[in-house]
Amino acid sequence: MSGLILSAGTGLLAGLALPPLGWPPLLWLALAGLWTLASRPWAGLVWGSCAVAISHRWLLALHPLDWIGVPLPLSLPLCVLLLGLISALGGALVLLWLALARRLGPQRPLSALLLALLWGSVETLLSRSPLFWIGLGGAALPSDRALAAWSSVGGSGLVAALQLVLGWLLWRLLLGPSRRRQLALLLVALVLSHGLGAGLLSALPPERRTDAAGVNERVLVLQPAIPTREKFSSLQRRSLQHQLALALEQGRRQGATLLVLPEGALGLETRLDEPAPIELISGGFRWHEGPQQLEQRSALLRFAVGEQTPGSWLDKHRLVPLGEWVPLAGLVRWSGLSAVGGIEPGPPSRLLPRPGGGLAAAICYELANGSALARAVHAGAQWLLASANLDPYPPALQRQFAALAQLRALETGRWLVSAANTGPSLLISPRGRIVAGLPPSRASTGLFPVPRLHQLTLYDRLGDAPLLLLTLLVTLLRWPRVRASAKTQQLPEPNASD
């Protein structure tokens, strides 16, 4: 019973510590409880399920689903089932991690380091999967930019590993012998991680609003704030067209170089009423000639000055399972958890070339995959664009999205513009600070100066390779002792060491 209470309590604490709160000390306490559970791997199922259920509770806001054809009596049970399945997956992953921890002996420093690095490496893999993964790597934000700055070296996976190491040191302080020594180690780790992190933060491009050549993009962001459940109604389509015409004229008068609209804003109509007076990038849908039939794709559509139809585009690559991508869609008549379900993915590259300089774009929760954006920056992207809808989700998801956007800016050392239907529409500096934004859930516009940058971070250059190589190195160092650890059925005494 005590193990159940501990696992559920610290799991709930971890869920609360993740963004939107993003307060690492609370997470370290939750992780100290997780390390305590290494002798009871089954408790990982409870810990992980509770953490994911709390951090992803916004999934319940999908209810009611009657607007996409789901009968109202089935709507809430379906949303609860979706949250339950995702929570169970998180619990299963933590269970496997604790089973490995029990085998290796988590009280050993080298084993603890290996376990932390493996967790971080798995998070990087999950971030590339169809899941909207909000892991420990993003938990340092928005509160601790110095710790999050380590992402410019090894991505979010390295930050996740650091969080676990700090949680392990706190666990050893609370339950191990020689508490004075353990306290000293914890304090040294905190000073080093944050001192060096502050140095990494200061090495990123400064927050002045011009680049080295004094050249800016002048990006006008339109936040339409049109409810997703009504976006295809004739009234709301006319409202968007009116907002778009006003924004294009505003951009022309204010000298904007680019107008940006969020994901899916143009809907199925991709022809403008009048030629664009300034460059326009908007979310919408297009038809692509596939090998067997026409494929519908969600995309960012780029209209050059004077054009009424898009001349280039960037297709969404990472689709929402059961939302945009539906298995066996040809056999099942249900279109999924969106009004335009059944779309097909585009190429994996997130680079959108433009005559004035390319940008790296993430459509909706593609923002969870930092490695794809880093590759686009390495290929020449000068700033980042995050385009999303995020309605009908609550403000909690908006704040989680903002924290992920801050992390992506830190990883790549690039300015980031977020354009979302109901928010968050933001300007974020390369040092992960939100410097401007539009009021959430209100139709509005904002003109953001965006410096074009060329400097690359270590993560831009090498991606997740440093983290993976470090994981491999520690594995090779620990491997000779794994067989000996496997013979021990009980956890060693707390004072055992390498």
Tokens 């980031």 sit at which residue?
416
Tokens 């809907």 sit at which residue?
267
In CATH, the architecture of 216-456 is: 4-Layer Sandwich (3.60)
Residue 263: active-site member: yes
Helix or strand (DSSP H, E) at 395: helix 395-412
Would you state the pLDDT for residue 483?
Answer: 54
Residue 316: active-site member: yes
Residues of the chain with CATH 3.60.110.10: 216-456
Selecting among 263, 279, 344, 366, the annotated active-site residue is 263
Selecting among 316, 324, 366, 411, the annotated active-site residue is 316
CB-based contacts of 100: which residues, under 8 Å, 6+ apart?
115, 118
CB 267 within 8 A of CB 285: yes
Stated length of the chain:
498
CB 171 within 8 A of CB 127: no
CB 148 within 8 A of CB 135: no
Residue 364: active-site member: yes
CB-based contacts of 359: which residues, under 8 Å, 6+ apart?
351, 352, 381, 382, 383, 384, 385
Would you state the pLDDT for residue 200?
Answer: 97
Would you state the pLDDT for residue 295?
Answer: 85
- What are 430-472's pLDDT values in tens digits? 999 999 999 999 999 999 999 999 999 999 999 999 999 999 9
- Per DSSP, 89 falls in state H
CB 201 within 8 A of CB 153: no
- Rounded average pLDDT per 10-residue block, the chain, 498 residues: 88 92 92 94 95 92 76 87 93 96 93 97 89 84 96 97 97 86 94 97 84 73 91 87 96 96 88 94 91 87 96 92 62 51 86 93 94 97 96 90 96 97 96 96 96 96 95 88 52 46
Selecting among 79, 231, 344, 364, the annotated active-site residue is 364
CB 47 within 8 A of CB 3: no
State the pTM of this model.
0.92
